[in-house]
């Protein structure tokens, strides 16, 4: 089935939204409110990375935003060399400022669409990707980026993904959309709920956990695991 993505937000529109929201995403109390179980998934992803790659030296954070996940990783493994990728330069600048204060390692910025990244092979010990892959569109996008991540990891390296998801069974999609809608209303009332749902509909194209787990295996990852799943959000990953 061919899906029309022409009405979805462009990279320029996504970049502009995040350029103007740096302060919120620099604060764990406000930047992750719309993500169910954000503290749990952040803890699980970084703890799994630490246990799989305790001697890690090189970290890649895809769609790093203001650097929250990298900072959490640095609290578990210090002085990593951190490569930070995002569309938004204001986000990257804030992330570099915050991350540089917590590591003696090199901090490198990559401002680009993740689909266009030219990453060195067998270079990173850990890749983190939080709330970013849901911006990928068609199957070719997804396989391209997952293959890039696999190739960029050292043998034995690991990737940990925390993201908005869809569901393969449409009745469950409707169920969890309603549950998420109800959750958003508890945060800010009906207007806030609708604002968030509108930008998800305009900007995001998430895939199911099943789809992403199968794709991780297809591109070569082994020991693929689901760490957590609740409603419209999940955390999972794999080892090269």
- In the chain, domain spans: 11-27+37-169+207-239
Low-confidence stretches of the chain (pLDDT beneath 70):
1-2, 25-31
| Contact status, residue 34 vs residue 224, Cβ threshold 8 Å | no
In this predicted structure, what is the pLDDT of residue 30?
A: 56
Residue 168 CB-half CA count within 13 A = 7
In this predicted structure, what is the pLDDT of residue 17?
A: 81
Domain 11-27+37-169+207-239, CATH? 3.40.50.150
The residues, ordered by sequence, that sit 6+ positions from 82 with a Cβ below 8 Å of its Cβ are 59, 61, 70, 74, 99, 103, 105, 106, 107, 108
| Contact status, residue 130 vs residue 163, Cβ threshold 8 Å | yes
In this predicted structure, what is the pLDDT of residue 121?
A: 98
pTM for the full model?
Answer: 0.94
From 124, 120, 149, 153, select the one nearest 57 (Cα to Cα): 124
In this predicted structure, what is the pLDDT of residue 27?
A: 67
**Dihedral of CA 184/188/193/195: which sign?**
negative
φ and ψ at residue 230, rounded to 5 degrees: -150, 110
d(CA 126, CA 71) in angstroms, rounded, equals 14
Per DSSP, what are the bridge partners of residue 119?
A: none
In this predicted structure, what is the pLDDT of residue 33?
A: 78
| Contact status, residue 37 vs residue 230, Cβ threshold 8 Å | yes
69 burial type by CB count under 10 A (0-12 exposed, 13-18 middle, 19+ buried): buried
Strand 81-86 and strand 107-111: pairing? parallel
In this predicted structure, what is the pLDDT of residue 14?
A: 84
């Amino acid at each position: 089935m061919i899906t029309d993505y022409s009405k979805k937000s462009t990279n320029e529109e996504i970049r502009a939204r995040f350029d103007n929201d740096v302060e919120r995403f620099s604060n764990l109390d406000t930047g992750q409110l719309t993500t169910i179980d954000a503290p749990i998934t952040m803890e699980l992803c970084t703890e799994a990375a630490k246990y799989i790659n305790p001697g890690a030296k090189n970290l890649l954070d895809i769609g790093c935003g203001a650097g929250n996940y990298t900072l959490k990783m640095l609290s578990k493994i210090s002085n990593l060399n951190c490569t930070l990728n995002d569309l938004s330069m204001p986000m990257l600048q804030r992330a570099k400022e915050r991350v540089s204060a917590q590591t003696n390692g090199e901090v490198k910025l990559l401002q680009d669409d993740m689909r266009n990244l030219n990453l060195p092979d067998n270079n990173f010990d850990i890749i983190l990707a939080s709330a970013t892959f849901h911006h990928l569109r068609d199957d070719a996008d997804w396989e391209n980026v997952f293959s890039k991540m696999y190739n960029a990891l050292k043998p034995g390296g690991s990737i940990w993904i925390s993201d908005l998801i869809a569901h393969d069974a449409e009745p469950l999609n409707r169920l969890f959309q309603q549950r998420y809608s109800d959750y958003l209303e508890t945060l800010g009332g009906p207007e806030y709920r609708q604002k968030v749902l509108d930008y998800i509909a305009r900007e995001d194209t998430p895939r199911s956990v099943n789809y992403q787990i199968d794709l991780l295996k297809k591109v070569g990852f082994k020991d693929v695991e689901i760490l957590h799943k609740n409603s419209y959000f999940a955390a999972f990953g794999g080892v090269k």
